[in-house]
Amino acid sequence: MKTSLSLALTLLLLPGRWRAALPVPDADDGAINLPPGFRALVVADNLNRDPASGKNTDVLRFLSIAPNGDIYAKYHRNGLVALSDTNGDGRADVIEKFGSGPGTGVSVHGDWLYYSTRTGVYRYKYTPGELVPKGEPETIVSDLPAENAHDAKSFAFDGEGRLLVEVGSPYNVYSKPDRQFGAKGMDATEFLKTHGGFWRFDANKTNQVLADGFHFSTGHRHSLALAWQPVLKEFFMVMMGRDNMNTVAPEFYDDLDNAERDAEEMHLLREGVNLGWPYTYWDPIKKARMVGPEFGGDNHKRDENPAYDKPVIAFPAHWAPLQMAVYSGTQFPEKYRGGMFIAFHGSWNRAPRSQQGYKVVYIPFDKDGMPTGRYETFADNFAGREEFVNTRDARFRPCGVAVGPDGSLYVGDTEKGRLWRIIYTGETNTLSRRAVATLPNFIAPDDHSRGSQLFQQICAACHMPDGSGVSGMQPALVGSAVVAGDPNTLIRVLLDGPIKALPADRVKYSNQMPPFAAAFNDNDIAEVLSFARRVFAKGTSQITTEQVAAQRNR
C-alpha cells in the first residue's frame, strides 16, 4: 500500500496534466517485461471466458480506443466487446458484449464504429457516452472472398477517410497441392484479381462489393498489420511470410531454413505495389528476394524482377504480425512519437525448434515519415518462458495494439483475453520482476519407422511434435476422438481431407488440412496413421494397407 501511495504521489507531481490521470500500475506489470520508465496494469482479464461455463469460448482480436477512453475489441468467433472505466482506477468495471459475426478488425473512426467479419466491413453509429451502440449496423462492404484460411479482413482509413481492406490468400503458396511435398506452383494471374491484395472503398457508401473497390495492391499472402502514416501520407503494412519450405522441398531446405529464411515483410504500401507472392519470398539472412521452391527455387536462386517491392524492414520468420498502430500520443518520450507498434502473435511453424516472436515491437520513424530500418522489442515475456516448442505452452499471445487518447498503449491477448494498459511513469529503478520458466517439452518418439519419418516431415509442423496442435489453427492429436476412433473415418480424413470426411458441425480450424490421396500411397498412409495411434491413442488398433486401399476404392 505504501509503495502504491508513493507512486501515485509521484505521478501527480510529474509535469503535464495527463500525468494526474494515470492509474497505479500492477506490482508485476501484468506479468510482462517493459523498458525502464514504463509500467503496466491489467485493464481486464479472462475476456474469452464464458461466465456460465467457465470455459474459454472465444478469442480476442483487434482493439480500438474511443476518444473518451472506452475500449472496443473484436471477437474472432462472434461479435464485439465494449469496456469502460467509470471510476478512473484504470480497470474496466463495465464490460458488455454486443453484435454478431466472426472477424478481426475494429476501429472508432469519426462518428462511426467500424468492424470487419470474414466477408465484409460494417459500422455502427457511434455516440460518445453510449458504450454499446444502439440500432443495427450498416453494411459498407459485403460478399468478400473468404475461404478456409487467411480470411480475416484487416482495414484502415487514409488521410481522406477512404477505406482500405485486405483480401488475403487462402493458400500458403498458390500451388498444387498446397503445403505438401513436391508442390508445384500455378499461374496466379487470375487468382490475384480477387485475392492477395488490398482494395479501396468509399467508407461512407453502403452495400459495396469487391467489384466496387479500387484494386490498390497485389502480390500479398496475408497482411493484417496495416496503418496510415500521417506525415508521409501513405500506408505501411507487414505481410505474413510463407511456411513449410522444408516440407515442400526437403532436398533444398531443412528445418533451420524453414525457421529462419522467410521474412515477415514490412512494406511502404503505395498504390499499385506488388509484393511478389506467390512466386517469391524474402530471405532476411541473404537480404534478397528468392524464388519459391514451388516455382523452381533451390535456396540459391534469386528473383531479380524489379516489379516486386523490397521490404523496408524484414522481421524474423513466422513471428505473425497482427495489429499495428502509429503512436500518436505525447505521454511516451519523444523517441516514440510518430513511430509504430506491432503486436506479434508469435510463431507456430518453427517446430521442432523453439517458437519465437511473442512480443510487441517498436519501429522508429524519421521526421519524413519513413522507418529508420531498425526495430526494438518494447514489451515481451508474454509467453512466460524462453524455450518452448508447443504454442499451447505460451501463457499469453499478443494480438491487438492501440493508442488511447491520453497516449497510453493498450495490448490484447488471444489466449485468455487479457488486456493491458502500458503507461510511462519515468521510474528509473524498475527491475525485472519476473523469472522466465523453461519447461521440458514432449516430442513424439522416433521409433525409426516409416510412419515416424512421415509424421516429422508432414504432420509435426502443423500438429506440433507433441501432437498438441495450435489453438484455433490445427487440432490436437492427443485426446482426439478422430485419431482414437473408427479407423475408416481416420483413413478418409487423410485421403479426402476433413472437410469431406468429417461432419459439417465439427469444430473447425483456420488452417484446413488438404487431402493426401494423391500425395501418398496406401502403405505410407497406413504407416503414418498407425504411428499417430501408437503415440497419441495408445491401446487402439493399427491401420493396415488393406484398410486404406478399401477406403480409397470405396
- Separation CA 42–CA 29 (nearest Å): 8
| Assigned CATH for 450-552 | 1.10.760.10
Which residues partner with 115 through β-bridges? Answer: 106, 122
pLDDT category, 3, cuts 50, 70, 90? Answer: very low
> Mean pLDDT, to the nearest integer, of 512-537?
91
Domain boundaries, the chain: 29-424, 450-552
pLDDT at 145: 95
Query: Do the domains spanning 29-424 and 450-552 agree at the CATH topology level?
Result: no
Asked whether the predicted pLDDT for residue 123 surpasses 90, the reply is yes
pLDDT bracket for residue 386 (50, 70, 90)? confident
Q: Give the per-residue pLDDT at 432.
A: 42
CATH of domain 29-424: 2.120.10.30
pLDDT band at 19 (very low <50, low <70, confident <90, very high): very low
In the chain, the amino acid numbered 115 is: Y
The model's confidence at residue 435, banded by pLDDT at 50, 70 and 90, is: very low
Mean pLDDT of all residues belonging to the chain? 90
At 293-342, the pLDDT tens digits run 999 999 999 999 999 999 999 999 999 999 999 999 999 999 999 999 99
Is residue 488 within 8 A of residue 529, CB to CB? The reply is no
pLDDT digits (tens, 9 = 90+) for 159-179: 999 999 999 999 999 999 999
The residues pairing with 267 across neighbouring beta strands, listed in sequence order, are 237
What is d(CA 71, CA 62) in angstroms, rounded to the nearest whole number? 11
Cis before residue 364, ω within 30 degrees of 0?
no
**Ramachandran sector of residue 13 (left: φ over 0; alpha: ψ -120 to 50; beta: rest):** alpha
- Quick check: 2 pLDDT over 50? no
pLDDT grade for 50, boundaries at 50, 70 and 90? confident
What pLDDT is recorded for position 429? 57
pLDDT of res. 17: 32
**What pLDDT is attached to residue 238?**
98
CB 140 within 8 A of CB 163: yes
pLDDT tens readout for residues 343-384: 999 999 998 899 999 999 999 999 999 999 999 999 999 999
What is the identity of the amino acid at 520?
Answer: F
Least confident interval from 136-140, 357-361, 448-452, 465-469: 465-469
For residue 223, name the pLDDT band (cuts at 50, 70, 90). very high
Q: Could you give the C-alpha distances from 136 to 66, 104, 124, 132, 204, in angstroms and in order? A: 19, 19, 7, 11, 16
Q: Residue 467: what pLDDT?
A: 84
Strands of the sheet with 376-379, listed across from one edge: 321-326, 340-344, 359-363, 376-379
